[in-house]
Copies of this chain bind each other. A is one copy, B any other.
Amino acid sequence: MINKKVLNAQEALTGIKDNMTLMLGGFGLCGIPENSIAQLVKLGVKNLTCISNNAGVDDFGLGLLLKDKQIGKMISSYVGENNEFERQMLSGELIVDLIPQGSLAERCRAAQAGIPAFYTPAGYGTEIGEGKESREFDGKMHLMETAFNADFSMVKAWKGDEAGNLIFKGTARNFNPNMCGSAKITIAEVEELYPAGELDPNEIHISGIFIQRIFQGNNYEKRIEQRTITKR
């Protein structure tokens, strides 16, 4: 067993520098790597390019990095819910590259899978297709989309083991598995870290081979954006 365990977020994020491209899992605030984000704030690295479906809210998630102006470019599918984001984007401080959510997920997965490019119909005929190659398959037009190329990927899982194997919970899974092995180094933070052999090999969502560093996170806030309930 190849042990991927590191002590904490500080050790896990060793090597992250200004101007790097990072992938961050999560959908809204669900399943985001809270400990890694906190450590990025502490490191104070600047001019990051962040590939993440969303950009957090003003005071949580990637919003924490935006507040400190650590992000130079966001690659996302949806960036509402964040006033500071809006301000930086409108002022031109922040470059925003909006891409269809399915293409975002598949471009992460393509990087993981060593597939340099693939075709999807999403965005054809829209401004998303401008400057992109298009091609017809079965009478339908498609765009060629390419794999992402990132330095670090940061994901959050529910359970993990020292071999780097991961199990996600509920919809906190989202982009996290697709971002494993999609960057040069993938850092996984987990709520529960087990010795190798404790997780059932059949129930693992992502194999440890895609993970370079794993640590047990703490103080998960798991903030809810829209607490919607059914009244009894």
Interface string of A106-133 (1 = CB under 8 A from B): 1000100111111111000000000000
Most buried by B among A119, A142, A167: A119
CB distance from A122 to the nearest CB of B (A): 10
Report how far A121 CA is from B121 CA in the complex, Å. 23
Contact A202 B170 (CB under 8 A): yes
Report how far A159 CA is from B167 CA in the complex, Å. 19
Question: Pick the contact of A116 from B119, B146, B201 — CB < 8 Å?
Answer: B119
CB distance from A191 to the nearest CB of B (A): 14
Q: A106-B115, A117-B118, A137-B146 are in contact. List 16 more A-B contacts (CB 8 A).
A: A110-B118, A114-B120, A114-B121, A115-B118, A115-B119, A116-B138, A116-B140, A116-B142, A117-B119, A117-B137, A118-B118, A118-B119, A168-B202, A169-B202, A170-B202, A203-B203
A residues near B (Cβ < 8 Å) are 106, 110, 113-121, 137-138, 140, 142, 146, 167-170, 201-203
